[in-house]
């Protein structure tokens, strides 16, 4: 019997599908003989009473969820997401560098330093990637600091804004697709496979703002993991291997039959009726991982 704390914030209960998924975690854990309590930020002093911490509140190296993760980790508890995964996934420069180093197929990316921010370099970038390009600040999530630029003027405008947040930006080839594959991975195994559809006229599958009711633009289409393309699953596992052994959601684009990784997310969203639709054992597998 293990005592599991699930670290949440109020907003985790504002979307009924997310609230239901959280209840499914609780029910599953209890059915398996464990205790499962929701832990809010007011009660962090209770962490030492637990054996495992499952973080569902938004993780970011600057948020309280990171403190929870770090504290639990240092006390030797099982923790998802672990602090290292939060740090890597929270920094796109770090993440893409690992993809480059370990040959994980990913969207063609270059890093742009503040001191290379001049006409000649911008022209080179357009020559390499074509137009538009996608510019990203390293610490983005929910698509907040991900924008397109098709000419030097707009590139300068976006980059100038993003350089206020970081000394280095990621610039990528623009690879629009009708959907992003989302592969849920736990401990080097595929948990679930979905398509996050990109709404007509948009190019990002969705956005959700911290502290707000979840706000998703696109539909989710779920496949049985057994029926998903083998190469897709291999690519997702390869991408997670360079990050860690926890729980991840890998975003992958399929372009002319090739799979290229957009990013690995820690703390992937799990909404009842979406990610769990074709593989109902998602809850059980995560609880089992937490208590082992
Ligand atoms: N190079 C790209 N080409 C086309 N679409 C992209 C590209 N990069 C990101 N996107 C789209 O934008 C979304 C957000 O980008 P992402 O890198 O995942 O940032 P965030 O961490 O903010 O979610 C992705 O899920 C994908 O749909
Ligand atoms: Mg993303």
pLDDT tens digit sequence for 190-208: 999 999 999 888 899 876 5
Q: Is 107 in the pocket of ligand 1 (CB under 6 A)?
A: yes
CATH code, domain with 69: 3.40.50.2300
233 and 99 in a common domain: yes
Say what the pLDDT of residue 206 is: 74
Tell me how far apart the alpha carbons of residues 56 and 81 are, in angstroms, rounded to a whole number.
9
pLDDT at 223 over 90: yes
97 and 205 in a common domain: yes
The three-state secondary structure class of 73 is helix
237 and 97 in a common domain: yes
CB atoms within 10 A of CB 214: 18
Q: Which atom of ligand 1 is least distant from the CA of 133?
A: 1
CA angle 18, 22, 27 (to 5 degrees): 145
- CB-based contact 18:50 (threshold 8 Å): no
Name the closest-CA residue to atom 26, ligand 1: 204
100 and 214 in a common domain: yes
Which among 144, 173, 202 is the end of a domain? Answer: 173
Mean pLDDT of the chain: 95
Cross-strand bridge partners of residue 173: 133
Bridge-based pairing of strands 78-80 and 109-113 is: unpaired
pLDDT at 277 over 90: yes
- Which residue in 81, 77, 79 sits closest to 58, CA to CA? 81
Model confidence at 216, pLDDT cuts 50, 70, 90, reads: low
98 and 154 in a common domain: no
CATH code, domain with 185: 3.30.470.20
Say what the pLDDT of residue 144 is: 85
- Which residue in 79, 36, 74, 35 sits closest to 54, CA to CA? 79
Computed from CA positions of residues 29, 283, 38, 91, in that sequence, does the dihedral angle turn out positive or negative? positive
20 and 128 in a common domain: no
The pair of structure tokens assigned to 194 is 């979905």
Distance 280 CA to ligand 1 centre (A): 28
Distance 262 CA to ligand 1 centre (A): 6
Q: Which atom of ligand 1 is least distant from the CA of 204?
A: 27
Q: What share of the chain in percent tops pLDDT 90?
A: 90
Name the closest-CA residue to atom 11, ligand 1: 204
Mean pLDDT of 147-155: 98
Say what the pLDDT of residue 142 is: 78
286 and 191 in a common domain: yes
Q: Which atom of ligand 1 is least distant from the CA of 251?
A: 25
- Which residue in 116, 155, 117, 115 sits closest to 136, CA to CA? 155
Q: What is the pTM of this model?
A: 0.96
Distance 138 CA to ligand 2 centre (A): 12
Q: What share of the chain in percent tops pLDDT 70?
A: 97
Tell me how far apart the alpha carbons of residues 61 and 65 are, in angstroms, rounded to a whole number.
8
113 and 100 in a common domain: no
Dihedral class, residue 141 (left if φ above 0, else alpha if ψ from -120 to 50, else beta): beta
Distance 78 CA to ligand 2 centre (A): 26
CATH code, domain with 140: 3.30.1490.20
Residue that is written with structure tokens 């357009």 in the block: 126
HSE toward the beta carbon, residue 37, CA cutoff 13 A: 15
Say what the pLDDT of residue 252 is: 98
pLDDT at 214 over 90: no
The tens digit of pLDDT for each residue in 249-260 reads 999 999 999 999
Which among 157, 173, 189 is the end of a domain? Answer: 173
Domain tally, the chain = 3
194 and 97 in a common domain: yes
- Which residue in 1, 9, 5, 25 sits closest to 211, CA to CA? 9
Model confidence at 211, pLDDT cuts 50, 70, 90, reads: low
CB burial of 190-212 (b: ≥16 within 10 Å; e: otherwise) equals: bbbbbbbbbeeeeebbbbbeeee
- Give the E-state strand segments of 143-178 in sequence order: 146-149, 168-173
Backbone angles phi, psi at 214, to 5 degrees: -60, 145
Q: Is 143 in the pocket of ligand 1 (CB under 6 A)?
A: yes
Distance 13 CA to ligand 1 centre (A): 26
- CB-based contact 21:272 (threshold 8 Å): yes
Distance 172 CA to ligand 2 centre (A): 14
203 and 262 in a common domain: yes
- Domain residues for the domain of 164 are 109-173
Which among 173, 203, 225 is the end of a domain? Answer: 173
pLDDT at 62 over 70: yes
Mean pLDDT of 113-136: 97
Q: Which of 143, 172, 220 to mutate to test the pocket of ligand 1 (most atoms within 8 A of CB)?
A: 143
Ligand with smallest separation from the Cα of 205:
1
201 and 71 in a common domain: no
Model confidence at 152, pLDDT cuts 50, 70, 90, reads: very high
Mean pLDDT of 92-120: 97
Say what the pLDDT of residue 207 is: 62
Ligand with smallest separation from the Cα of 140:
1
Mean pLDDT of 42-48: 97
217 and 155 in a common domain: no
Q: Is 205 in the pocket of ligand 1 (CB under 6 A)?
A: yes
Which is more confident, 214 or 229?
Answer: 229
Distance 173 CA to ligand 1 centre (A): 11
Q: Is 82 in the pocket of ligand 1 (CB under 6 A)?
A: no
Say what the pLDDT of residue 58 is: 95
Cross-strand bridge partners of residue 247: 186
Say what the pLDDT of residue 215 is: 60
């Amino acid at each position: 019997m293990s005592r599991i704390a699930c670290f949440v914030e109020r907003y985790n209960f504002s979307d009924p599908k997310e609230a239901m998924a959280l209840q499914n975690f609780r029910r599953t854990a209890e059915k398996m003989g464990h205790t499962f309590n929701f832990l809010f930020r007011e009660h962090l002093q209770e962490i030492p009473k637990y054996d495992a911490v499952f973080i569902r509140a938004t993780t970011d190296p600057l948020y309280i969820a990171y403190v929870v993760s770090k504290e639990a980790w240092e006390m030797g508890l099982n923790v998802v997401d672990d602090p290292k995964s939060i740090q890597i996934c929270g920094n796109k420069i770090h993440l893409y560098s690992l993809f480059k180093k370990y040959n994980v197929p990913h969207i063609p990316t270059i890093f742009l330093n503040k001191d290379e921010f001049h006409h000649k370099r911008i022209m080179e970038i357009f020559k390499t990637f074509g137009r538009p390009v996608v510019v990203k600040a390293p610490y983005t999530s929910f698509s907040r600091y991900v924008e397109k630029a098709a000419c030097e003027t707009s590139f300068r405008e976006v980059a100038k804004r993003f350089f206020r947040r970081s000394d280095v930006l990621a610039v990528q080839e623009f690879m629009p697709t009708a959907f992003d594959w989302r592969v849920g991975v736990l401990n080097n195994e595929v948990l679930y496979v979905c398509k996050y559809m990109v709404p007509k006229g948009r190019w990002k599958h969705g956005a959700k703002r911290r502290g707000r009711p979840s706000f998703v633009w696109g539909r989710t289409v779920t496949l049985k993991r057994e029926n998903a393309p083998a190469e897709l699953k291999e690519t997702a596992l390869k991408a997670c291997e360079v990050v860690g052994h926890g729980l991840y959601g890998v975003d992958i684009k399929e372009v002319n039959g090739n799979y290229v990784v957009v990013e690995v997310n820690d703390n992937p969203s799990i909404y009842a009726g979406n990610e769990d639709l074709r593989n109902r054992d998602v809850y059980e597998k995560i609880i089992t991982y937490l208590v082992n």
